[in-house]
Amino acid sequence: MIRFAFGRCINSGVPVWRRLQQTTRAPNTMTYTTKAQLLFHCPASSGLMPSRLTSTSRLLSIRPLSWPGSRLCHGDSQSTSERAHKKGGFSLRTLAQAPKPALYLGFSGLIPFLSAPLLMAATQSFYPELAYAQVVYGASIVSFLGGSRWGFAIPAGSPAQPDWMNLGNSVVPSLLAWLALLCRDNIAEGALVVIMGLGLSLHYDLTLLPGYPSWFKAMRTILTLVATFSLVATLTMKKFCTEKKIRD
């Protein structure tokens, strides 16, 4: 009985590809199956078109494709930092590419933020002078971040154009810092204004201004989060700890 199944012509239970294998394995011979041989082994297929025979022979000669194991194991050959830069995002792994001065100066700038709540937690007391000093330092950082964006958009060839959008947004953090300094009698309001300025500056750096490297975006995110939590910790000390004066 002759039948076709999945592109194979079976004659008396023996598939054609096995007959071809036996033929090609003959010693000191190198033969290939022709259309006449296929018709001889498959009489019922004499009515097939040549295109059908050609496609069948191609199916019989398919070889497995070789695929590098590294691509299967490690995915795309591009690094994480390159993919993040193309997508406009960042990864914390890109901090390894940051210049050493930027890392040391950036993370050492967290010392004034962290020292105030740590000292209050150690003494179990809230010091308004110390909290206001923290707010003043936070306001200066917010103003510095606004000025850095202005300086980034001014040079010729910068990816950020010196238009109303970029320069106007660069002035907003400085105005928020000035507003925070006016809240001397209300530390809570000043701290909230600084937190607002830090969050707005981070939003500008990550979304609005192009051209910042991925390591800078990652570092800015970490620094902003730590500074924000330090201000929140100070406000928590104000609510639950006894207020004391440093001068007393």
The tens digit of pLDDT for each residue in 42-68 reads 444 444 444 444 444 454 444 444 444
Domain annotation covers residue 248: no
Same structural domain for residues 202 and 97? Answer: yes
Phi and psi based region of residue 138 (left: phi greater than 0; alpha: psi -120 to 50; beta: remaining): alpha
Q: Which of 34-38, 90-94, 182-186, 227-231 has the highest mean pLDDT?
A: 227-231
Q: Which of 38-42, 147-151, 160-164, 198-202 has the highest mean pLDDT?
A: 198-202
Average pLDDT of the chain, as a whole number: 74
Do 47 and 88 fall into the same domain? no
- Asked if the structure places residue 73 within a domain, the reply is no
109 pLDDT more than 90: yes
Query: Do 121 and 222 fall into the same domain?
Result: yes
> Please, which pLDDT band fits residue 153 given cuts at 50, 70 and 90?
confident
Q: By residue range, what is the domain housing residue 194?
A: 81-243
In the prediction, which pLDDT does 46 show? Answer: 43
The answer on 225 and 121 residing in a single domain is yes
Q: What is the mean pLDDT of residues 106-113?
A: 96
Overall number of domains in the chain: 2
Is residue 226 within 8 A of residue 114, CB to CB? The reply is yes
Domain match, 169 and 55 both: no
- The pLDDT score that the predictor gives to residue 27 is 47
85 shares a domain with 205: yes
* Model confidence pTM above 0.75: no
48 and 89 fall within a common domain: no
Task: For residue 160, tell me if it sits in a domain.
Answer: yes
For the chain, give the longest Cα–Cα distance: 112
